[in-house]
């Protein structure tokens, strides 16, 4: 039951579970309270240890505005103490009303984490506040995230997905990678531009791996050189590939760039005198190293992008683009089909001058354009047929049905595929030929086949009706 009263403001206490770090600008609300008073009563419940006092459930800003306005009493709605305790308080604080300052991202994260600490799970919280479970997980981690991560998220320099990538590092115990990422200049600038988190993490992972590689090689007894020293030495050829132990045994020197995964190995002998290596050559080599380091990072990011694109059924540019990609992969087997067959499928007559390279190129371009307008199903069927074109042609003659024939496994596979995937039903002549060789038996390699048997029972083609 809820009771309305006007009580002394000194009896209304702040909630120790209040998730707000800052009550915000109260000037406007204070002026309103001075003029017309507190219109919306504070929601409170009896203090658990101070008899006659109350704990605020909703209304911290209104209480402070009333104090600022010099009021001695405030209207309150007194609720019974909830059996859910702090859970009920925090859920109320995570909602907004007329006199609320919207919660900032850190305050919201703090509220979610407090609910988790009190025993709710991410799914329950997500349903309560109509947010995906993944968002609750990521935002709750923000509370324990490094200050640089909190600041970047609060300023909008990283989005929720990027925040997840950073907090995933912390959750997985990859603190060294996270610390290296946060040392990146992008996290140490007052710029308001977005941070390319994926690139920063990729660079940090490479640097940490490079450090680990250096420590491992030094422990093996390898001798490290600087980039400047590497200019004077000859690189060990890539082939034949040597193990780290073999490099060490051969007394090769190594240079490990913090920007690359690969280790560069060098022979002990100098390739030319110091004076022969000009400053221009050194500068060019340094530039190439830097470019290669950037390309390595780009390669890692591109690979991550491709994995996400393939995993996400809704990704990609468009259906047309996906069909073009499919056609790029399948146009080669499609073009294996006979010219006459392609002409029948597309309705595009082949060139009269079949010896003209230019005419053939133009015709093939028209054929490709025709397939580009087809569905992926049509493209798949054409490609599968083209890929088995030679097998299909061999099945024009009876010996191709012989179980002892070298290519029988390919022939059988194509006959099975025709029926099962294309819906083709074998002709009477094909059925008769299959039955003839099934009964014939014979020799295959070193094995003797008795009448009515085959190398493997699976070598029989199942005839579908």
Instruction: Count how many domains the chain has.
Output: 5
- Return the biggest CA–CA distance within the chain: 110
**Peptide bond before residue 241 is cis, with ω within 30 degrees of 0:** no
Gap between the Cα atoms of 344 and 346, Å rounded:
6
Tens-digit pLDDT profile for residues 279-318 = 888 788 788 888 888 888 888 888 888 888 888 888 888 8
- Mean pLDDT within 244-273: 85
Residue 452 has pLDDT above 50, yes or no: no
Residue 334 contacts residue 383 (beta carbons within 8 Å)? yes
Whether residues 293 and 329 fall in one domain: no
Whether residues 219 and 302 fall in one domain: yes
In 71-194, DSSP assigns E strands to: 73-78
Residue 448 has pLDDT above 60, yes or no: no
Whether residues 283 and 236 fall in one domain: yes
Within a domain: 264: yes
Gap between the Cα atoms of 150 and 22, Å rounded:
16
Gap between the Cα atoms of 184 and 203, Å rounded:
9
DSSP H/E element including 54: strand 54-58
Tens-digit pLDDT profile for residues 182-222 = 999 889 887 778 899 998 998 899 999 999 999 999 999 99
Residue 122 contacts residue 158 (beta carbons within 8 Å)? no
Whether residues 366 and 394 fall in one domain: no
DSSP H/E element including 193: none
Whether residues 139 and 171 fall in one domain: yes
Whether residues 110 and 190 fall in one domain: yes
For residues 302 and 441, the model is more confident at 302
Pair type for strands 54-58 and 42-46: antiparallel
Looking at 70, 93, 116, the residue that finishes a domain is 93
The pLDDT score that the predictor gives to residue 96 is 61
The pLDDT score that the predictor gives to residue 323 is 87
- The single-letter DSSP state of residue 45 is E
Strand order of the sheet with strand 73-78?
A: 3-8, 73-78, 42-46, 54-58, 12-13
DSSP annotation string for 305-327: HHHHHHH-TT-SS-HHHHHHHHH
Residue 9 has pLDDT above 70, yes or no: yes
Is 12 in a helix, a strand, or coil? strand
Query: pLDDT grade, residue 457 (50/70/90)?
Result: very low
Residue 277 has pLDDT above 80, yes or no: no
The pLDDT score that the predictor gives to residue 391 is 93
Please, which residues have CB within 8 angstroms of residue 298's CB and are 6 or more apart in sequence? none
Closest CA relative to residue 259, chosen from 292, 228, 226:
292
Gap between the Cα atoms of 331 and 383, Å rounded:
7
Within a domain: 365: yes
Tens-digit pLDDT profile for residues 320-370 = 888 889 999 999 999 999 999 999 999 999 988 878 889 999 999 999 999
Please, which residues have CB within 8 angstroms of residue 232's CB and are 6 or more apart in sequence? 270, 271, 272, 274, 277
Whether residues 217 and 301 fall in one domain: yes
Looking at 195, 227, 252, the residue that finishes a domain is 195
The pLDDT score that the predictor gives to residue 83 is 63
Q: How far is CA 280 from the centre of its chain?
A: 41
Within a domain: 312: no
CATH number of the domain encompassing residue 188: 1.10.10
Within a domain: 433: yes
CATH number of the domain encompassing residue 50: 3.90.1530.10
Looking at 151, 167, 195, the residue that finishes a domain is 195
The pLDDT score that the predictor gives to residue 453 is 47
The pLDDT score that the predictor gives to residue 276 is 60
Within a domain: 232: yes
| Percent of all residues in the chain with a pLDDT value above 70, rounded to a whole number | 92
Closest CA relative to residue 90, chosen from 15, 3, 148:
15
When mean pLDDT is compared across 124-133, 241-250, 453-462, the lowest value belongs to 453-462
Gap between the Cα atoms of 21 and 2, Å rounded:
28
Pair type for strands 253-255 and 223-224: parallel
Within a domain: 201: no
Residue 108 has pLDDT above 60, yes or no: yes
Within a domain: 100: no
Gap between the Cα atoms of 241 and 225, Å rounded:
21
Whether residues 413 and 441 fall in one domain: yes
Tens-digit pLDDT profile for residues 24-41 = 778 888 888 888 888 888
Whether residues 299 and 223 fall in one domain: yes
Whether residues 139 and 155 fall in one domain: yes
Whether residues 111 and 89 fall in one domain: no
Tens-digit pLDDT profile for residues 371-415 = 999 999 999 999 999 999 999 999 999 999 888 777 888 899 999
The pLDDT score that the predictor gives to residue 446 is 45
Helix, strand, coil shares of the chain as percentages rounded to 5? 55, 10, 35
Q: What Cα–Cα distance (Å) separates residue 67 from each residue in 1, 62, 224, 231?
A: 28, 9, 69, 73
| Percent of all residues in the chain with a pLDDT value above 90, rounded to a whole number | 31
Within a domain: 200: no
Tens-digit pLDDT profile for residues 144-195 = 889 899 888 888 898 888 888 998 998 889 999 999 999 998 898 877 788 9
Residue 443 has pLDDT above 60, yes or no: no
Whether residues 54 and 74 fall in one domain: yes
CA angle 191, 189, 178 (to 5 degrees): 120
Domain hosting 22: range is 3-93
Q: What is the mean pLDDT of the chain?
A: 85
């Amino acid at each position: 039951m809820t009771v309305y009263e006007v009580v002394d403001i000194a009896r209304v206490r702040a909630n120790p579970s209040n998730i707000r770090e800052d009550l915000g600008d109260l000037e406007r609300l204070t002026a309103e309270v001075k003029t017309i008073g507190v219109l919306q009563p504070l929601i409170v419940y009896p203090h658990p240890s101070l008899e006659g006092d109350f704990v605020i459930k909703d209304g911290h800003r209104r209480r402070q505005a009333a104090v600022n306005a010099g009021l001695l009493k405030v209207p309150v709605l007194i609720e019974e103490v909830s059996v859910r305790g702090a859970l009920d308080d925090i859920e109320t604080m995570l909602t907004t009303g007329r006199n609320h300052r919207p919660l900032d991202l850190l305050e919201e994260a703090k509220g979610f984490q407090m609910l988790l600490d009190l025993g709710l799970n991410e799914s329950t919280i997500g349903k309560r506040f109509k947010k995906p479970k993944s968002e609750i997980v990521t935002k709750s981690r923000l509370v324990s995230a490094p200050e640089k991560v909190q600041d970047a998220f609060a300023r909008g320099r990283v989005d929720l997905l990027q925040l997840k990538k950073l907090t995933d590092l912390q959750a997985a115990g990859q603190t060294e990678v996270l610390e290296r990422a946060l040392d990146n200049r992008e996290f140490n600038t007052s710029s308001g531009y977005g941070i390319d988190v994926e690139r920063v993490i990729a660079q940090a992972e490479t640097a940490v791996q490079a450090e680990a590689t250096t420590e491992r090689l030094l422990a093996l007894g390898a001798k490290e050189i600087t980039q400047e020293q590497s200019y004077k030495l000859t690189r060990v050829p890539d082939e034949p590939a040597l193990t780290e132990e073999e490099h060490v045994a051969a007394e090769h020197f190594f240079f490990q760039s913090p920007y690359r995964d690969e280790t560069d190995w060098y022979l002990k002998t100098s390739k030319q005198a110091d004076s022969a290596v000009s400053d221009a050559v050194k500068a060019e080599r340094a530039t190439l190293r830097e470019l290669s380091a950037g390309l390595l990072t780009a390669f890692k990011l591109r690979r991550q992008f491709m994995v996400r694109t393939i995993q996400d059924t809704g990704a990609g540019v468009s259906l047309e683009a996906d069909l073009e990609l499919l056609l790029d992969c399948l146009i080669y087997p499609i073009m294996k089909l006979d010219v006459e067959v392609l002409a029948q499928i597309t309705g595009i007559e082949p060139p009269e001058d079949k010896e003209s390279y230019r005419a053939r190129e133009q015709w093939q371009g028209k054929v490709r354009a025709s397939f580009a307008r087809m569905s992926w199903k049509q493209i798949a069927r054409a490609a599968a047929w083209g890929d088995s074109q030679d097998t299909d042609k061999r099945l024009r003659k009876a010996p191709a049905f012989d179980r002892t024939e070298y290519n029988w496994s390919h022939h059988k596979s194509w006959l099975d595929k025709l029926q099962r995937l294309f819906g083709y039903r074998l002709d009477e002549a094909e059925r008769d030929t299959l039955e003839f060789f099934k009964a014939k038996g014979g020799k295959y390699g070193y094995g003797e086949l008795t009448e009515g048997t085959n190398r493997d029972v699976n070598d029989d083609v199942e005839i579908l009706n």
